[in-house]
Each structure stands twice: as C-alpha cells, then as structure tokens.
C-alpha cells in the first residue's frame, strides 16, 4: 500500500526566503506525482505535475523535482511571498489499474510573514 | 470555463442524522472523484466514477455511505446515519487525462 509523507508539517519563513518542501513515497512504481496548493476554505489547486519519466517541472517561482528510485520529490519555492501562505500537498498516482487514484500526503502548512 | 461546483458549502448535523452532498463537475469531464479530508490530513479517495459507472469504491464505508452519478454528470454523496468521525471536508473533483480539478468542498460537522 502506497504511503506518502511530507516534511515538515509546518514551516514559517520571512518574505523573500527560498524554501524547500519535501515529499516521500514508499512505492516507487508511480505514474505521476502532483503538487497541490490548498487555501483555507477552498479546494485544491494543481501547481505542478511530474510524469514518472520526468525529473523536474518548473512554473514561475516553483520548481518540483522527482527521484523515483529514492521515492522522493521536492518543491522549491523561490523568493517566497506572503501570498504563498497555504497548505501544500503532494499526491502520487500509481497508474495502471489505479490510474487517477491519488494518494496524498498530510500536507505542509506554509506561512510567509512580511 | 466554470469550475467544479459543490453544495452545500457547510453542513452541521447531529449524529445518526442523514446528509447529502451534491457535485457538478466540469463539462465534458468523464471522471468524477469524491474525497474525504479530515482536519490535518490529506484527502482520502472514497469513490471514483467513470461516466456513470463506479471504477473504485474500495475505501467507501458502504454500511453508511452511498454515492451515485446519474446520467454521467452530477453526483451525490450520502451519509446515513452520520457518526462523529464523519466530520470532515468532502471534496469533489473531476478529471481530464492526468489532471484533477477540485471543487471548494463541503465542510461537515457532526455533533
């Protein structure tokens, strides 16, 4: 059974810092990995999706890497801003007969203070 | 385009009562998912539909939870009777290829 763990559980940083969020998964046979953002009282917004054949994806100040063999992914946020404050969730899709069934980590609560 | 719609946004009930949630996915999305997110945890998949057929409901507590997707569009999730541990946010998502698009969720409080 796939298990996804995110470290740290919470992170508080001053504005402008570069930061790294970590995600680990127990079964390396994944189809893809996604990073989501969740704002209070709102649904999830997809940030980046990395296919199993890819090593990284970039969108603006966000960069996500994937190391399938070690079961790890990192989300790098450059020059953090107060608007980045949210919960960040990673999720893996095992593919195959489990295609589309996402297994989520518990999330990292990020607070960026001015 | 319009996103995934869910209603109600909030619901408070007493234990042993019943409750129903509604989801309208993005037009044209064949796949629909219901997730349960307990406070402090990541979402957990309850059921996955492809059009109006169930693909996976292995984590749905079938003694009290039921879901349907009539005509392959809207979906309802019902809990009867509710327990205290059902307090959570219920998220609906619709899928297109690799991506899932989430609605705002329904926050259920069971007293």
> Of A93, A101, A106, which is closest to B41 when you measure between CB atoms?
A106
The predicted pLDDT at position A56 comes to: 95
Residue spans of chain A under pLDDT 50:
none
- Cα dihedral sign for B96, B98, B99, B100? positive
Give the residue carrying structure tokens 């996402």: A102
How far is B15 from chain A, CA to nearest CA, in Å?
A: 23
Asked if the model's pLDDT at residue B57 lies above 90, the reply is yes
Confidence band for B87, pLDDT divided at 50, 70 and 90: very high
Confidence band for B16, pLDDT divided at 50, 70 and 90: very high
How far is B101 from chain A, CA to nearest CA, in Å?
A: 7
Do the chains contact at A32 and B95, CB–CB below 8 Å? Answer: no
How far is B32 from chain A, CA to nearest CA, in Å?
A: 10
The predicted pLDDT at position B93 comes to: 95
Q: Using CA coordinates, name the residue in chain A closest to B92.
A: A43
> Of B42, B48, B91, which is closest to A43 when you measure between CB atoms?
B91
The predicted pLDDT at position B41 comes to: 93
Burial tier of B109 (Cβ tally within 10 Å: 0-12, 13-18, 19+): middle
B32 vs A contacts (CB less than 8 Å): none
A 15-74: CB under 8 A from B: 32, 36, 41-46, 49, 51
The predicted pLDDT at position A94 comes to: 83
Angle at A20 between CA A19 and CA A22, to 5 degrees: 155
> Of B4, B45, B98, which is closest to A32 when you measure between CB atoms?
B98
The predicted pLDDT at position A88 comes to: 98
Burial tier of A19 (Cβ tally within 10 Å: 0-12, 13-18, 19+): middle
The predicted pLDDT at position A8 comes to: 94
How far is B38 from chain A, CA to nearest CA, in Å?
A: 10
Do the chains contact at A44 and B43, CB–CB below 8 Å? Answer: yes
Confidence band for B91, pLDDT divided at 50, 70 and 90: very high
A87's CB contacts (< 8 A; 6+ apart) are: A37, A38, A39, A107, A108, A109, A110
Does residue A4 belong to the interface with chain B, where contact is any CB pair within 8 Å? yes
């Amino acid at each position: 059974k796939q298990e996804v763990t995110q470290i740290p559980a919470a992170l508080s940083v001053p504005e402008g810092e570069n930061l790294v969020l970590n995600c680990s998964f127990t079964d390396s046979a994944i189809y893809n990995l996604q990073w989501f953002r969740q704002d209070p009282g709102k649904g999830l917004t997809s940030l980046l999706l990395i296919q199993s054949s890819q090593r990284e994806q970039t969108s603006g100040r966000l960069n996500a890497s994937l190391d399938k063999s070690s079961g790890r992914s990192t989300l790098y946020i450059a020059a953090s801003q107060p608007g980045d404050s949210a919960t960040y969730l990673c999720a893996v899709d095992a593919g195959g007969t489990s295609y589309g069934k996402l297994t989520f980590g518990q999330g990292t609560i990020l607070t960026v203070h001015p | 385009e319009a996103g995934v719609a869910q209603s109600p946004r909030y619901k408070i009930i007493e234990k042993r009562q019943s409750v129903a949630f509604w989801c309208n996915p993005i037009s044209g999305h064949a796949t629909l998912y219901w997730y349960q997110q307990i406070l402090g945890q990541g979402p957990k998949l309850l059921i996955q539909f492809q059009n109006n057929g169930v693909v996976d409901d292995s984590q749905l507590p079938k003694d009290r939870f039921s879901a349907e997707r009539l005509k392959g569009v809207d979906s309802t999730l019902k809990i009867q009777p509710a327990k205290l541990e059902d307090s959570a946010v219920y998220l609906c998502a619709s899928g297109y290829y690799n991506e899932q698009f989430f609605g705002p969720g329904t926050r259920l409080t069971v007293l």
